[in-house]
A and B are shown apart, each in its own frame.
Chain A
Amino acid sequence: METFSYVKAPSIDKALASASQGKFIAGGTTLVDLMKLSVETPKTLVDINLLPLDKIETLPTGGLRIGAMVRNSDLAWNADVQKSYAVLSEALLSGASPQLRNMATTGGNLLQRTRCAYFREPGAGTPGGYGCNKRTPGTGCAALEGFNRTHAVLGTSEHCIATHPSDMCVAMAALEAIIHVEGPKGKRTIAFADFHKLPGDTPHIENALEPGELITYVDLPKPVEGAKSTYLKLRDRASYEFALASAAVVARVEGGHIRYIRVAMGGVGTKPWRSHEAESALMGKPANAATFKAAAEAALAKAKPQKDNAFKVELARRCLVRSLKTATA
């Protein structure tokens, strides 16, 4: 690991002032892991654990404001979240391990990085190492010809097929969260759909943050009256493992027909995958097996399987069907 300067920021202003020199560290569960692999080499670490961003508050609009420093476990166990945004609690509890959930933060989870084994290889993107356009643009993508069982089938490009690993983000995509950031140029908000970027020909750019910007809050809109939500995660082990395919669904059914629907998928996309295709196939339709099947076909219609991950296409379809059944039961 490269050495670094360490500074503990006592306030948001001090954190922003130090930010130009390095990276923020909160729980460290992604950053320390990647620093040990020489994937991340910050010259300065700005510790933001003292910042007053660890509250969960109801907004006047009826929504929820989640501080960026709220730990994943606290967010998952929060009574309001469990009652009104069950998909978020389920998604969080399906991820990582209890120890990691106690350390990981809301802001950090948004910035989680891919588990692609080539990306995580210390020498990738360096001369003589595996090609990785995400590490070093222009060096190629070793996963394309390599072992790509856990890689993405949606949102890929010829430059990068790395899966986005977060469960929390899939739930937040379905909930249409809004991300608040503060930086050298002041405060702004970013719609969840715009936060994570497709790889395209710039896979090294993963999100919409400008240099020096700090995530401060994540807002959830007012819960939808009468809607049920659920998260289903499928993987090789029953726990402590990333998704092969997952589905977050928020649905309201009235008179046997779907009157409100949001669908997002994990384990299959290069970013948390909001599926407008599935939603169009479901809205207004009867909540039955035929509708769910059609929605699953629509969701994966543009899937581009690789040599080792073709199974994900059918797995993801079935995952969505099962999740829809649960949410509309």
Chain B
Amino acid sequence: MADTLDPHLKHLLPRSPQKTKEGLAPDQQSVDLEALTENSSKRGFSRRSFLSGLGAAGVLAGAAPLAAAAPAMEPSNQDQPETAGTGNVTLRINGKDYPLRNLDPRATLLDTLRERIHLTGTKKGCDHGQCGACTVHVNGRRVNSCLSFALMHEGDEITTIEGLGQPGNLHPMQAAFVEHDGYQCGYCTSGQIMSAVALLKEPIGQSDDEVKQAMSGNICRCGAYTNILTAVKQVRSRA
């Protein structure tokens, strides 16, 4: 592959040492940068795989997700908690079990969902619990997945936006957001919908003000708030 790669793109090749397939846990994938040739689209090359490749090569600066491509190590035994470095946990997400080995303890639930399990519907906005883009449900309650470590969630039922509904079988809240145009760029939308669905089971009053307060943990830079409120109120009134 290195031979066919355009010379001016050679610096984008992964800098990590050669990975052997045996060294990775079953749930880990290696991300190879595909050669950018005219045949790329026919090989299923996508924007996502291109950007993932850039990420793996360390070109994208910023908070490097520690959950991806962890160096292969002996799986740590939960009975020997003093072993630093890695941990094992089984995350139950949208009704399915994901056994994860060699997880960096620093890996947040958010980064693990996105980078390790490749459920990218949940978004990273601020990474500090200040925007709500990362909202998921843990045991039915809305939380900021950026402020929790994945290792802490053994035994928890986690629901992400992917578990709420599918194309052709939308959750009523998703359908309401579509009907009332409750989004523009869509980046806050997963978090908004997850928050709104959780809100249905919370003791929130009926006034607009109270609903807005209850949704105030999700920030929308595009300003779709009015339509979001309409969508939420519609689903509440029919629930």
On A, residues with C-beta under 8 Å from B are 1, 3-8, 18, 21, 25, 27-29, 32-33, 35-36, 43-45, 47, 49, 73, 77, 96-100, 102-103, 238-240
| Inter-subunit contact B144/A99 (CB<8 Å) | yes
List the 10 closest pairs (A to B, CB-CB), nearest first. A97-B217, A7-B81, A239-B216, A5-B84, A6-B105, A32-B147, A102-B141, A99-B144, A1-B106, A99-B217
Residues from chain A with Cβ under 8 Å of B27 in the complex = none
Contact A32 to B149, CB < 8 A, known contacts A5-B105, A239-B216: yes
Please give me the residue from chain A that is nearest to B144 by CB atom.
A99
Q: How far is the CA of A36 from the CA of B124 in the complex (A)?
A: 14
Of A7, A27, A102, A239, the contact of B213 (CB 8 Å cutoff)? A239
Q: How far is the CA of A35 from the CA of B127 in the complex (A)?
A: 12
Find out whether the CB atom of A45 lies under 8 angstroms from the CB atom of B132: no
User: Of B127, B128, B152, B198, which one neighbours A47 at CB under 8 angstroms?
Assistant: B152
Q: What's the nearest-Cβ distance from chain A to residue B61, in Å?
A: 16
Q: Are B128 and A103 in contact (CB under 8 A)?
A: no
Q: Is B69 an interface residue (CB 8 A)?
A: no
Q: Which residues of A contact B128 (CB under 8 A)?
A: 33, 36
Q: Which of B137-161 contact A (CB under 8 A)?
A: 141-144, 146-149, 151-152, 154
Contact B142 A102 (CB under 8 A): yes
Write out the residue numbers on chain A whose beta carbons fall within 8 Å of the beta carbon of B81: 5-8, 18
B residues in contact with A239, CB < 8 Å: 212-213, 216
- How distant is B83 from chain A, measured CB to nearest CB, in Å? 7
Contact B154 A99 (CB under 8 A): no
CA distance A243 to B202 in the complex (A): 25
Chain A residues closer than 8 Å to B53, beta-carbon distance? none
Known: A29-B144, A33-B128, A99-B143. 14 other contacts (CB 8 A): A5-B105, A7-B82, A28-B152, A97-B129, A98-B142, A98-B195, A98-B214, A99-B144, A99-B195, A99-B217, A239-B212, A240-B216, A240-B217, A240-B219
